[in-house]
Structure 1
């Protein structure tokens, strides 16, 4: 089994990237990274492509909303463009897979809601194919609240989506959702092409559950890889066709570049990436 390659989700350094795109990418390249996972790329694909090339990096995967009118984040909502616009921008950047990063919690609470999400992503996969791209989905913790016939909404979603829909599993959020994370990795099998590598202490209760208080990313106890409760090693070892181990922080514990470098060292020193 081939080892995955390391990457980093640029949302981790959203402010730094916004302030100095070229300088931020150069610092990531200096750490030793060759790949990134872009976000908010649709409005500036040519600028991002040029900055990536200047730094010697590429963005094989990227996050963009495909299933919602607006994209929610703990720090605010982002309007969503049409899928065709997203895919054209992704192709310009040089991506191969566009991953939807978030679908609102209430849509995961009913079987009809899950069916709708799956049908929309299957349809998006067909449109993406016309641009030479694939699509995928990235979880948080809301996908694990409801269960139908003994299966979580997330597992039902996996059953309903076509095999060509890629899966990116966020290990921290799966743990927050109460999952046996290495077991879930094993069940996803070859559908799982990327993992979000971040560590920390999961919230005591699912912050996306109905009635839960609103939260911001700054409230999360996230730590450098290997310094928290997320079963990173077992999850990496349980994967069968992983292509990318994507370092990410919703809330970096310190200097974000130092935190990324530490997690990158965890992956490289441990022999988990090639």
Structure 2
């Protein structure tokens, strides 16, 4: 039989655990906040070290790269030096936007080996297809099916290299082909075990589609997101997160259905305010309202 003192101690510990439980639950739901470095495209090439320091100081913990070339690395910084700069600022490049147009045009996957090596040096998880130029992506359903086959091929190479391939959308993928569109063809024709999708929420909404409907139709396929808002007066413009027209709260509420593992804030080329200050403003909104 428990003595009164032992009972009180055990009861106190149990109550303490209950009091802490919500805190632990909240912490478990917290997500890393990433930034697509294209947001800082005007300043990054001129001062890689300084801009990455700004990114880390702002409170970002992950980045998605752009601008890599085999000849110059990241804007003149070698891949290993770039990794050291990331480490110095508490940053991790979890995804990388690499140029895939030459792969589509030439049909050769030789350059993919370089992408895989670079991503592994950085400690990344994803190699991402960012954009296919109009003359290469085609204007027919068959062209998108052919593109899906090429993406699957690269996806297998990435898997063999310990990485995952992802496809990032714009609005042109939603061109209609009868009852379907280019994006649905890519989703249906790519192998789930080889290819994930990085949903650009702005471009989905801009195209007149609903991210939530896509989550429901293709659950678990959208493991990464680009988070950028749409200006209230001109939909061609971005806006700081929370000041535009996109309902991010309802979208983030369905993160599990989407399969979202990470997301990257992005302000694209039609966005003009001070890049880092605008990014910080969006970051604050995300921290306070979305995660």
TM-score computed with the length of structure 1 as normaliser: 0.83
Counterpart of 1:256 in structure 2 is 275
Q: How far apart are residue 34 of structure 1 and its match?
A: 0.7
Q: Deviations over 1:233-260 (max 9, x none)?
A: 2222222221112100113341111111
Residue number in structure 1 paired with 2:131: 102
Aligned residues: CA RMSD: 2.3
Q: Aligned pair in 2 of structure 1 residues 21, 204: CA closer, same or farther (>3 Å)?
A: closer
How far 1:121 sits from its partner (Å)?
1.0
Aligned pairs (5 A) from 1:66-81: 66=100, 68-69=101-102
Instruction: Select between 33-42 and 104-113 the one with higher mean Cα deviation.
Output: 104-113
- Partner Cα distance (2:131, 2:233) in 1: 18
Structure 1 residue 18, shift from structure 2 partner: 0.7
> Aligned to 1:95, what secondary structure does the other structure show?
coil
TM-score w.r.t. length of structure 2: 0.79
Q: Where does structure 1 differ by over 3 angstroms across 4 or more consecutive aligned residues? A: 1-4, 201-205
| Structure 2, gaps ≥5 residues long | 1-27, 74-78
- Residues 50, 130 of structure 1: CA spacing in aligned structure 2 closer, same or farther, 3 A cutoff? same
> Could you say which structure has the larger radius of gyration?
2
Higher relative contact order (CA 8 A, sep 6+): 1
Residue number in structure 1 paired with 2:12: none
* 1:137 maps to 2:167: yes
Matched residue pairs, number? 248
Offset of residue 155 of structure 1: 0.9
Structure 2: how far apart are the matches of 1:2 and 1:109? 41
Gaps of at least 5 residues in structure 1 are: 72-79, 206-219
Which runs of structure 2 are paired with 1:16-27 in the superposition (5 Å)? Answer: 16-27=43-54
CA distance, structure 2, for counterparts of residue 171 and residue 152 of structure 1: 17
Counterpart position of 2:265? 247
User: Of 54, 61, 82, which residue of structure 1 is paired with 2:111?
Assistant: 82
Does structure 1 retain, via aligned residues, the 8 Å contact 2:231–2:243? no
Q: Does 1:37 align with 2:64?
A: yes
